[in-house]
Chain A
Amino acid sequence: MKRLAAVAIFVLAASCVGFVSYGVGDASDPGTLVYAFREPMTTLDPHVNVDGTLQMLRPCYDGLVRYKVGTAELEPCLATAWEVSADGLVYTFELRDGVRFHDGAVFDAEAVRVNFDRIITLNLGAAYLIDGVFDHLEVVDEDTVQIFVKQPSPGFIYSLVEIYMISPKALAEQEMEGDGAAAWFHENIAGTGPYTLEYWNPASELALQRFDAYWEGWEGKHLDYIVVKNIAELATQRMLLEVGQLDLIDEPQTEDVPAYQANPDITVYDGQLLQGWYITMNCLQGPTADVRVRRAIAYAFDYATAVSQLRQDLAVPLQGPINASNPAHDPCLFRFTQDLDKARELLAEAGYPGGGGLKLKIGVVQNLTFEIECGQLLQAALAQLGVELEVIQIAWFTFLEMSQDPQKANDLAMVSTLYASDPVPDKHFELYWKTGGTYNWSFFSSTDMGALLDDILEQAAVTIDDDSRNAMYRAAQEVIVAGCPAVFTVNDFNIRVMRSVVKGFQFSPTLVFYDPFYYMYKEMP
């Protein structure tokens, strides 16, 4: 018995010797930022990573250009200057001197060439950004490269923001059986960015530490460590944030915002209308193929409630297919408001007086609260018109496949937008509204209006002059609204929630997740 006690006391004493802190602290440490993510990091390879976790790699890697913090303008990053040839087919970049990678390798033109080669060869992740546009790259001299493109593309230079440079030394040394060092880069980091890898436990945590030899230097206030924890439950994230064990969460719910605003230790940042949500209607098959039915549904939706109740007024009604903050947005577009009488009239005209036993289905992403709530809102509204709407929750990947197949697609589908904030929204239109677009769930392009739209978009994609291009996009938006293939519901404010001690945060008007970690720091009282 005595021996047992002795052992117990020993263990207890030993553990009191302290939580040995291995540099990385927790949220109470002013030099450490603790961030929560709902999904685990898939890979640390910036040429392969395509999902939301890519944002955690941004502090570690640089591209040739980047967005100026808080703006949609490009500024030099690893390239100090660039120019485009008159025919728009050749881009010449002058590279920055004296930049080194985390492992000491030198950054030069050869490094850029090696990177582009790798991206094209792997043909994963980042490759889609330059697919179809990038032709080849030539090294002019140590500090200059030329990139040749297949056709003029106004969006190309912007896509280079997300083409990150990895260390050619690591690539050469860690290459195994021609995999392009994919195995090594999967779990290691070798870039030019301000932060590098401390440790990575793929199941739970990623920690980044300051890279002292960062080319931009460390003047001013900066973080020493960034810790990303994988926390599956939103409710848990929220608890930890309130308690101070987390500094920052990625996607707060709008319902929680009033509670956050009431907490003096938490700051809510909102601004920039970044994410749009709309309900596509099947223009090819079923009752919604009739434009009158579509217009009736557009008149039925309760926009005001969606904005004020579901989004706590942290949104505005969505006007047309792209966000209001986009330079190409047309502020004069027609916008539907709820008008049940008009809706009834239209239904009657279309052959469904009093609802006429119309039954429709709407697909929403499983467990995505806002989409479910929107669906239920529309369900209630349509019920008043005598139309039955069934809300079906579908797992994301199934949803994606179903919605692209006109045979299997539901009558309505809820969708949220990507790229609608890009300064050049060509990718957005291509994905959502053009024939063959992955998110062209309304099959709008199959209608006459849709075919017209395709022409406009094709032209706009190769127009370099900003003004003429934006005029074309405005025409495109008019066509879309006139054809009524979707119910444009809300345009969300981008909301970020963090502890008040975190300073230096600014929104990016173009990328939803583009936190300027380098400029952030914590000011503890």
Chain B
Amino acid sequence: MAQFLARRILFLIPVTIAVTFITFVITRVIPADPAQLAAGLRAGPEQVEQLRRNMGLDKPLYVQYVNYLKGLARGDFGASMRTRQPVVRDILRYFPATAELALVTMLVLVAIGIPLGALTATTRRSVDVAVRSVSIGITALPTFWLALVFQFIFFFKLRWLPALGQISSEGLLPAHPTHFYILDSIITGRFGALPDVLLHMVMPVSALVAGRLAIVVRMTRAALLEELRQEYVRTARAKGLSEFRVLLGHALRNSLIPIVTELGLHMGWLLGGAVFVVELIFSWPGIGLYAIKSIMALDYMPIMGTTLIMTVIFVIINLLVDISYTFLNPRIRY
């Protein structure tokens, strides 16, 4: 077990290097002058030169790369020219909003997707096909388009839900001990903020859940069907156990492994791109919005920083998923 863990953690190193190398190459291919950007549109040539030297841009590329890696080791991810802040600070500031969104989305996905998947695996053909088709239909809707439609109908036309952001006014929640708005409103006793925060999550979460629902349903269904074919299920049925108990007590539990693996993939999908456009449309101050704006502005450091962080997070999530196997299925040992 320890050996397995060690190997997987060591894997992070080549991943990190590969990611930094690839993003470094990509961002350096961009023909823009970061010194000019940092100095501002109206700066004179001497100011720009000065900044160029400060930023180390007059050195050859490989030296820049090595310096970047050295900086990473120190925890320095460089600075964003758009926000004029260290990238680490920006990422720490924007990340909790994305994390909150992703976690709530996962919760809802699991709460809706798994039961639906179980349903399709066990009912009549007609219901199975109907549910699956509907879920495929929902997931086929482009997430960005769905987000726009939601905003247009539920905010603009019906006024049921707020248009954007995490909260109506930051004044409602002055203190952020955890930076998770839901938790913060409870912890700091500002209960008035809680319904506001929850309402703000409805549309973004719905758009994201819709984008992945069919996949969760399909995977749950496949995993469950696989389990239901096993010998022990027949035995359980032969023993006279109710279908429900067979399902819940045995089949579902054992099919948790593939389902849990998929959770890691869903998280990857969310963090890997789905959150970006949703955050853009709802002005949700998360990593996705930060990344998109950085990409559009060709801001090197944030692009590299966010890609690196997201990749590492994804790898860690998968690692956690693998570890959880041992608890879910005692037969698997590393």
Chain A residues close to B by CB (< 8 Å): 11, 14-15, 17-26, 39-40, 42-43, 48, 50-51, 123-125, 127-128, 131-132, 186, 198-199, 201-205, 207, 227, 229-233, 236, 239-240, 242-243, 245, 366-367, 395-398, 400-402, 408, 418, 427, 431, 436, 438
A278 to B98, CA, bound (A): 41
- A199 touches which of B93, B171, B192 (Cβ 8 Å): B171
Residue in B closest to A395 when the chains form the complex, CB atoms: B298
Contact B165 A402 (CB under 8 A): no
Contact B165 A229 (CB under 8 A): yes
Contact A202 B93 (CB under 8 A): yes
Q: Which residues of A contact B152 (CB under 8 A)?
A: 239
Contact A199 B174 (CB under 8 A): yes
Dominant secondary structure of chain A at its interface with chain B: loop
Q: Which residues of B contact A21 (CB under 8 A)?
A: 171
- B174 touches which of A18, A22, A230, A402 (Cβ 8 Å): A22
Give the distance to chain A from B53, nearest Cβ to Cβ, in Å: 13
B97 an interface residue at 8 Å Cβ cutoff? yes
Interface contacts beyond A11-B194, A201-B170, A204-B285: sample of 4 additional A-B pairs, CB < 8 Å, sorted by A: A21-B171, A203-B94, A232-B283, A397-B33
Residue in A closest to B80 when the chains form the complex, CB atoms: A42
Give the number of A-B contacts (CB < 8 Å). Answer: 148
Residue in A closest to B50 when the chains form the complex, CB atoms: A123
Chain B residues close to A by CB (< 8 Å): 30-34, 36-37, 39-47, 50, 82-85, 93-94, 97, 151-152, 155-156, 159, 163-166, 168-172, 174, 190-196, 280-281, 283, 285, 289, 293, 296-298
Residue in A closest to B185 when the chains form the complex, CB atoms: A15
Contact A231 B283 (CB under 8 A): yes
Contact A128 B93 (CB under 8 A): no
A243 to B41, CA, bound (A): 35
Contact flag A236-B163 (CB < 8 Å), given A125-B40, A231-B283, A438-B41: yes
Give the distance to chain A from B197, nearest Cβ to Cβ, in Å: 10
Q: Can you list 12 A-B contacts (CB < 8 A)?
A: A11-B194, A42-B84, A43-B84, A123-B47, A124-B47, A128-B47, A203-B93, A205-B170, A233-B164, A400-B41, A418-B42, A431-B42
Contact flag A239-B195 (CB < 8 Å), given A21-B171, A199-B170: no
Residue in B closest to A396 when the chains form the complex, CB atoms: B297
Contact B32 A395 (CB under 8 A): yes
Q: Which residues of B contact A400 (CB under 8 A)?
A: 32-33, 36, 41
A50 to B43, CA, bound (A): 9
Contact A231 B50 (CB under 8 A): no
Q: Which residues of A contact B82 (CB under 8 A)?
A: 39, 42
Contact A231 B32 (CB under 8 A): no
Contact A408 B192 (CB under 8 A): no
